[in-house]
Amino acid sequence: MELAVGQAGQSTFETDESHSAVRYGNDGVDVIATPALVGLVEVACHRLMRPHFDADEASVGVHLDLAHEAAAPIGVTVQVSAEIVAIEGRKVTFAVVAQAEGTVLMRGRHLRALVDYERLRRSAAERFPGAQ
């Protein structure tokens, strides 16, 4: 892994009904849902790490410290900026900001871990043997 503190990137997402709070069970609240924004943050950070993976590696989210600061309607374009602010072994901390049309929607920190994918898959299967 050749990640370094200070590396940064931006991901852009077109929002649609799948991002709506209604989809997450909040009837009548037709704006971008907090869990949808969290997902966009996770994807943006993963995209920044992915070019540095070995063939058997993946990244998983392990901690979130995010504030949802403003609502946005479905259909806006969301840009997520992510910057690596710390690396401790196989754990990478990002400072993130999600915004639409200049309005900050969410900001905070996200921690991801670099993992051996097969080991992770086996471990999960052992914990939950009845799951598919």
- Among residues 47, 48, 61, 73, the alpha carbon closest in space to that of 110 is found at 61
CA 130 to each of CA 22, 118, 119: distance values in angstroms, whole numbers, following the listed order? 31, 18, 18
- Give the whole-angstrom CA distance, residue 7 versus residue 24: 33
Residue among 14, 15, 17, 34 flagged as catalytic: 34
Inter-residue contact 37 to 107 (CB < 8 Å):
no
Residue 93 annotated among the catalytic residues of the structure: no
Residue 68 annotated among the catalytic residues of the structure: yes
CA dihedral 53, 58, 61, 62 (to 10 degrees): -100
Inter-residue contact 92 to 55 (CB < 8 Å):
no
Residue among 15, 42, 93, 110 flagged as catalytic: 42
Residue 19 annotated among the catalytic residues of the structure: no
Residue among 2, 17, 63, 68 flagged as catalytic: 68
Residues marked active site are found at: 34, 42, 68
